[in-house]
Each structure stands twice: as structure tokens, then as C-alpha cells.
Amino acid sequence: MAKSVHHVNLSVPEDGAQTQGAWLVDMLCYREVHGGPDITALVEKMGRRVWWFEADDGSQVHLSPNPEHAIVASAHTAIRLDDDLDPCIERLTGGGFETRTIAFDGERHVFVTDPAGNLWELVGP
């Protein structure tokens, strides 16, 4: 069986999930998805909300509001954008986000920090 990433779960400030979710949708073209009735009932019992976002390939980003959210400088999430890399860079810079690009292994790797302070690595040709 081939291995692939199903989802990553990122910490965001307690009041930052909505801003972070909008960034995932507007800048990286994820779409918000719902966890279904079982997970929704579980998190509602805990007094929380599910913040899940999905890419076209089915991989997901889950957001966990955390009052103790801390930024870890070298920790990051990397996603492959291929031909969507340049349009994504345009959206990011147009949205006021600073990007840094390096090239290695025949590909570009673009680094950007999201509104919660998490580092993202966007990979493409």
C-alpha cells in the first residue's frame, strides 16, 4: 500500500482559527470540510469546533485553537503545488505576505509564514 499524508493538525492561537481558515482558503485554495456527525458531536461535547480544510488531492489541514500556541521556528508544513505555485505566490504577495524562495533538487521551494505564525514550504517547478 502506498503511503501518503492524510492530514496535519496545526496549532493556532485560541482566537485565530477563523483567520487561519480564511488564509488556507484564500491563499492556498483549500476548502473547508465538515467532519461528519460523529466527530462533530464529540467536539461539541468538549465545547469546541472542528476546523478542517481539504486540498484537491484529499489531504487535509486541521486547526487546533490553543491558548498556549507557540511558534517553533524550524517546524513547517510542506505541500506540493506544482503548476499552481506561481498563482499561489501572486495571491500571497498580493495579500501582503512575504515569501522567500530557494531552489534545489531542480525545484523551487517557497517559504511563507501564515497568520498564526506557522511556516509553510510550497514546492513546485
Q: What is the pTM of this model?
A: 0.89
pLDDT at 35 (0 to 100): 78
Q: Which domain holds residue 73?
A: 7-124
pLDDT at 2 (0 to 100): 66
pLDDT at 33 (0 to 100): 94
Are 76 and 123 a contacting pair, CB within 8 Å? no
On whether residue 92 sits in a domain, the answer given is: yes
On whether residue 2 sits in a domain, the answer given is: no
Q: How many domains does the chain have?
A: 1
On whether residue 1 sits in a domain, the answer given is: no
Question: At 116, which CATH number?
Answer: 3.10.180.10
Sign, Cα dihedral of 33, 94, 65, 57: positive
pLDDT at 119 (0 to 100): 96
Block mean pLDDT (10 aa), the chain, length 125? 83 93 98 85 79 94 91 91 96 98 95 96 96
Cα separation, 122 vs 114, whole angstroms: 12
